Structure formats: C-alpha cells, structure tokens
Amino acid sequence: MYRIYMIEDDQGILEAVKSKGKKWELQITGVGNFRKILLEFSELQPHLVIMDIGLPAFDGYYWCTEIRKISKVPIIFLSSASDNMNMVMAMNMGGDDFVAKPFDMDVLIAKIQALLRRTYDFAGTTPILQHRGAFLNKDNGTLTYQNRTIDLTKNEHRILSLLMENKGQVVSRERLMDLLWESDCYIDDNTLTVNIGRLRKKLEANGLTDFIQTKFGEGYYMGEERT
C-alpha cells in the first residue's frame, strides 16, 4: 500500500480524499502539527505528497522547498488559486503536478496513480533518516541540519546510517567494524575510534553537539539534545 502525506488544513477535503484513496489502497495521512511538517514527513516516509498552497504558519511553497532539500518524492500541489502564476510557481518550487480546487476526486486519484507508476515502476524510494532535526539522505550521503548540508565521507555516512537506523539502541563497536569491513580492506579498533572522533567534530562544528554518545564497554548510540 502506497503512503500519501496530505498537507491540507481543510479537514473536509482531507477526509474526502482519505475515503476515496482507501478504495484504491492508498494510505493517506494528514498533518498532525503544521509547524513540524518536515519531521512528520521524515517519520512517515511517504511515496507521494499532496501539498496545499495556503497553509497555517508557512505556505506550501516553503514546505516544498524544505522537502526538496532531502527528498525527490513526487509532490502534487493543490490550490483554489488556479491562475498560471501559481502553477508556474508550484513547478519551479519542485512540484510535479498541479490540481486546482474545486477538483474532481477521480481526476486527483488518476494523477496520483500516474505519478506513482512513473516514479516507482523504475526506481525505489530514497530513504531519509531523522534525528534531532538532522536529516540523513542515504541516497547521496549528505546530512542536512538547519538549512546547511554537511558532506560526509563514505565511512562517516555508513556509521551515521547504522546509528540512526538503530535509534534508542546501543550499536556495538564490533558491529560498526563489521559494517566498515564490508567495503574496506581492514578496519581495526583504533581506525574506528579515529572515524568516530572525526565525525563527532564535524557534527559539533555544525551545531550537533553530543549527537553520538558512548556507552562505555558496549558501543555508541544517538544522543538526545541536552536541556
């Protein structure tokens, strides 16, 4: 079942699309908090986004730009303002299609299905991992935090991926070394320590203090922000 994230503040429209989508085996989820759309997006990992333009706090153009920093997920814009300027703006911001309100529900479903076929018949999803507002793109090896892109080495990306995939758990040094051995000739205990140290410094330089924590005698885990 495809997951659809619908960023729409009109509850009536949301429920109508949910009901119609269910008949076509589309799992449609609305927004819980309009100030945490990027966080909800990363947690849901949707296959497609339906984006209204007029939203509380920030408009759909803003959120499309933010999503495009971390994902190539298809985005369909919705708007009651169907003039050419809005359509052009939506496409320039990274949208894939545009539907004017009021819309025919069957037309919207057809557009959703067409985009899903084009996107996922030929390519897989791009997994995005999130922790403390930092987004790791597993496809291109970059970490995004507070509108900054942090370039990672291959080993740093592998280490961070494994730790973020296992949030809430301690990952042993042995497991991390096994991961790095898969692509490198030989990684010993000291080399792992050096890699972790460099990664921590890079994270701290970009405002992510205590992002990786040590559990002495066991391994490493993702650290929560200190208050």
- What pLDDT digit, counting tens, does each position of 36-82 carry? 999 999 989 899 999 999 999 899 999 999 999 989 899 999 987 66
Q: Report the pLDDT value the prediction gives residue 85, as an integer from 0 to 100.
A: 73
Q: Which domains does the chain have, with CATH numbers?
A: 2-120 (3.40.50.2300), 128-222 (1.10.10.10)
Q: Span 188-206, mean pLDDT?
A: 91
Q: What would the pLDDT profile of 72-117 be if each residue is shown by its tens digit?
A: 899 999 987 666 677 788 888 889 999 988 888 998 999 999 899 8
Q: Span 115-140, mean pLDDT?
A: 77
99's enclosing H/E stretch is strand 97-100
Q: How many CB atoms lie within 10 A of CB 215?
A: 12
Structural contact between residues 9 and 55, judged by C-beta atoms closer than 8 angstroms = yes
Query: In the predicted model, is pLDDT for residue 126 greater than 70?
Result: no
Determine the distance from the C-alpha atom of residue 84 to the mean position of all C-alpha atoms in its chain, rounded to a whole number: 29
Q: Span 197-220, mean pLDDT?
A: 94
How big is the chain by its Cα radius of gyration, in Å?
Answer: 20
Query: In the predicted model, is pLDDT for residue 174 greater than 60?
Result: yes
Hey, which residues does 182 pair with through a beta bridge? none
Report CA dihedral (156, 48, 125, 87) to the nearest 10 degrees: -80
Hey, which residues does 144 pair with through a beta bridge? 135, 149
Report the alpha-carbon angle 167-169-170, nearest 5.
120
In angstroms, rounded to a whole number, what is the distance separating the alpha carbons of residues 50 and 96?
Answer: 10
Q: Report the pLDDT value the prediction gives residue 226, as an integer from 0 to 100.
A: 61
Query: In the predicted model, is pLDDT for residue 125 greater than 60?
Result: no
| pTM over cut 0.75 | no
Mean model confidence pLDDT for the chain: 88
Query: In the predicted model, is pLDDT for residue 219 greater than 90?
Result: yes
Structural contact between residues 17 and 107, judged by C-beta atoms closer than 8 angstroms = no
Q: Report the pLDDT value the prediction gives residue 183, as an integer from 0 to 100.
A: 60
